[in-house]
Amino acid sequence: MDLATIGGLGIGIFVLILGIVIAGGVTGLFGFISIASVFITLGGSFAAIMISNTMARTFGLMKVAMNAVRIHPLEAGRIIAMIVTFSEKARREGLLALEDDLDELEDEFLRKGIQLVVDGTDPEIIRNIMETELNNMQSRHQQSIKIFEDWGLFAPAFGMIGTLIGLILMLSNIEDKSAIGPGMSTALITTLYGAVVANLVFIPIANKLSYVNDQEILAREIMIEGTLSIQSGDNPRIVKEKLISFLPPDIRMQVEEETGERE
């Protein structure tokens, strides 16, 4: 599990509760509990998400959201070391010898690229095929990210709708002046709920999914360049240097050490 996601959510909830307790005491917490506001804010925004998307995408949200709490290591060292190993074998035994190792490749994207190399496919065609698959993957990820971005917009809007509902009900009973204060408080809770779930849950999840998407794209770009380098018969050391150049400077040294140990 990704501790940053879980820890951030936990800290966010904790500081909100702590702030309420400091401001109004423990008993003040009960004034922030409203089942009706939960239905209006979460139920209404979820209905808007259903309207905006297909049924399959809507009910696949939980699976998508889990990608924000899973650990997604780049594993650049492992990927680069694997490609360098293939490069060494291809130079030593020929490209056809790589077919024996295809079953050991867990990543389907890289396995497809190496299979195209073994089949003698033109380099430009290989690049087009792999980049098309990469673009399609990115498009699918962006669709999922947009759902949570939209939810982050819908939730505050339905919080405001709940506030308007509460104000209407309060004004309809305005003769009872003692009910105005509690009524106003209840009306504002839905706005609070909408702001909290949008800024503590939905928008941060969209941001984390964007980060995961960027990491996966980087890994796929390394695989594409590595596959084409294998086909062109580049020196394994050149292949390694070429692939490491994709990485941020702060992790290049670590990857060089990891690949050096494997070599």
Q: Do 112 and 26 share a structural domain?
A: no
Amino acid 197: pLDDT: 95
Q: Do 54 and 21 share a structural domain?
A: no
Q: Do 42 and 12 share a structural domain?
A: no
Q: Do 203 and 143 share a structural domain?
A: yes
Q: Do 76 and 5 share a structural domain?
A: no
pLDDT over 70 at 248, yes or no = yes
Q: Do 47 and 24 share a structural domain?
A: no
Amino acid 46: pLDDT: 96
Q: Do 172 and 54 share a structural domain?
A: yes
Amino acid 252: pLDDT: 78
Report residue 260's pLDDT band, with 50, 70 and 90 as the boundaries: low
Residue ranges in the chain assigned as alpha helix (H)? 3-24, 35-38, 44-52, 55-58, 61-66, 76-93, 108-118, 123-171, 180-197, 203-232, 236-244, 249-262
pLDDT over 80 at 185, yes or no = no
Q: Do 45 and 23 share a structural domain?
A: no
Q: Do 80 and 7 share a structural domain?
A: no
Q: Do 24 and 98 share a structural domain?
A: no
Higher pLDDT, 40 or 31: 40
% of the chain with per-residue pLDDT over 90: 51
pLDDT over 60 at 141, yes or no = yes
Q: Do 161 and 107 share a structural domain?
A: yes
pLDDT digits (tens, 9 = 90+) for 41-56: 999 999 999 999 999 8
Q: Do 257 and 152 share a structural domain?
A: yes
The range of the structural domain enclosing residue 50 comes to: 36-263
Mean pLDDT, residues 160-176 taken together: 83
CA distance 199 to 236: 47
Q: How many domains does one find in the chain? A: 2
